[in-house]
Structure 1
Amino acid sequence: MIEIINIDCPYCGEVFETTADCSAGDQEYIEDCQVCCRPIVITLHVSDTTLVNVEARRDDE
């Protein structure tokens, strides 16, 4: 199940929209901010196929 999620960039503070595949379980991946192009580590926590939590942090943390 694909969900649209909003991410707050930990670098520039802008909010951008991206998609998450909740059918794949818990995930961690890097996606560039659509505004400042810096790498963001996105962590998805999924229960069954329901998105429970989204974390976005800097790549250098």
Structure 2
Amino acid sequence: MFEHFFQCPYCWEEISVLLDPSVSQQTYIEDCENCCNPIEFRVSFSENELQTFEANNIEQ
């Protein structure tokens, strides 16, 4: 697993997520551990290296 730190797109707190580099393309939704708002993650790996990471708010 790969720990990645980023700022929540809602509360701007720095939080972390655990990413699985064995899956090259990932899109999923997870709640912020601080403010509990849903965040859409788009992640890609190449040769077990993180290539792209997006954490976007979900307009509700």
Matches of 1:10 and 1:53, distance apart in 2: 16
C-alpha deviations, 1:2-50, integer Å up to 9, x for none? 1000121101101101100011111010010011000000110211321
TM-score, normalised relative to structure 2: 0.89
Deviating 4+ runs (over 4 angstroms): none
Aligned length in residues:
60
Q: Which has the higher helix share?
A: 1
Structure 2 alignment gaps of length 5 or more = none
- The residue correspondences of 1:1-61 to structure 2 (distance < 5 A) are 2-60=1-59
Aligned residue identity for 1:3:
F
Aligned residue identity for 1:49:
N
TM-score, normalised relative to structure 1: 0.88
RMSD: 1.4
Matches of 1:15 and 1:42, distance apart in 2: 15
Q: What SS does the corresponding residue of 2:22 show, helix, strand or coil?
A: helix
Aligned residue identity for 2:55:
A
